[in-house]
Amino acid sequence: MTRFWWIRHGPTHEKAFVGWRDVPADLSDTAAISRLSAFLPRTACVVSSDLVRASATADAIAGDRKRLPHNLALREFNFGEWDGKHFSDVSETHPELSRAYWETPGDITPPGGESWNMVADRVGEAVKTLLLPDADIVVVAHVGVIMTQVQQARAQTPAQAIGQKIDNLSLTRLDFDGTKWVEHFVNRLI
């Protein structure tokens, strides 16, 4: 059994698409970070996306846990040309595409970016490299990354999973027993 403890990075306070842009997280809520760190298994390994908002959050909660190298495959969706743009601007410049991206996710791709299915495949391959027998793995990543894993655990479609709320500094616990996923909780604030 591999127990995955998924954490969404600290808030960025951005009001635009944030995919591969490397914006910092606000980690000033030290009480929330301390509670989260104390809740996690002491023997867990910690891995994160290489983007600073995830890696800094991972460093803040890691404590004396073993820190694995940052993993590029755990990055947020690549929003391509949309990254850094306000949602209303994208809606104006790409009205049909942006609507389809949210309403029928799967193979819809923003210009120069990634589709839901591309990200799910990328993250799925990264997860395979983290499968260890009887291990706890803390993964600090992004909302989209975590939603793809909830989708897999629940055997949902992208359209069903995209509505799952994943708050900053929330915890999602998904275990893999070698054949199936077991969901313990999603989007828990500690």
Question: Domain residues of the chain, as ranges?
Answer: 2-188
Are the CB atoms for 35 and 4 separated by under 8 Å? no
> Mean pLDDT for the chain?
97
Q: CA–CA separation, 33 vs 29, rounded Å?
A: 7
| Span 73-93, average pLDDT | 97
Are the CB atoms for 139 and 130 separated by under 8 Å? yes
Which residues, 6+ apart, have CB-to-CB distance to 187 below 8 Å? 164, 165, 166, 167, 170, 171, 172
Are the CB atoms for 177 and 169 separated by under 8 Å? no
Beta strand 66-67 with 135-141: parallel, antiparallel or unpaired? Answer: unpaired
Are the CB atoms for 118 and 158 separated by under 8 Å? no
Q: Tokens 């000033």 label which residue?
A: 28
- Give me the architecture of the 2-188 domain, per CATH: 3-Layer(aba) Sandwich (3.40)
Q: Sorting pLDDT into bands at 50, 70 and 90, what band is 24?
A: very high
- How many C-beta atoms surround the C-beta of residue 64 within 10 A? 6
pLDDT confidence of residue 150:
98
Lay out the sheet containing 181-188: strands in order across. 66-67, 45-48, 135-141, 2-8, 171-176, 181-188
Write the pLDDT tens digit of every residue in 84-141: 999 999 999 999 999 999 999 999 999 999 999 999 999 999 999 999 999 999 999 9
Could you list the beta-strand ranges (E) of the chain: 2-8, 45-48, 66-67, 135-141, 171-176, 181-188
pLDDT confidence of residue 134:
95
Burial 134-156 (b: 16+ CB within 10 A, else e): eebbbbbbbbbbbbbbbbbbeee
Write the pLDDT tens digit of every residue in 136-186: 999 999 999 999 999 999 999 999 999 999 999 999 999 999 999 999 999
Q: Sorting pLDDT into bands at 50, 70 and 90, what band is 61?
A: very high
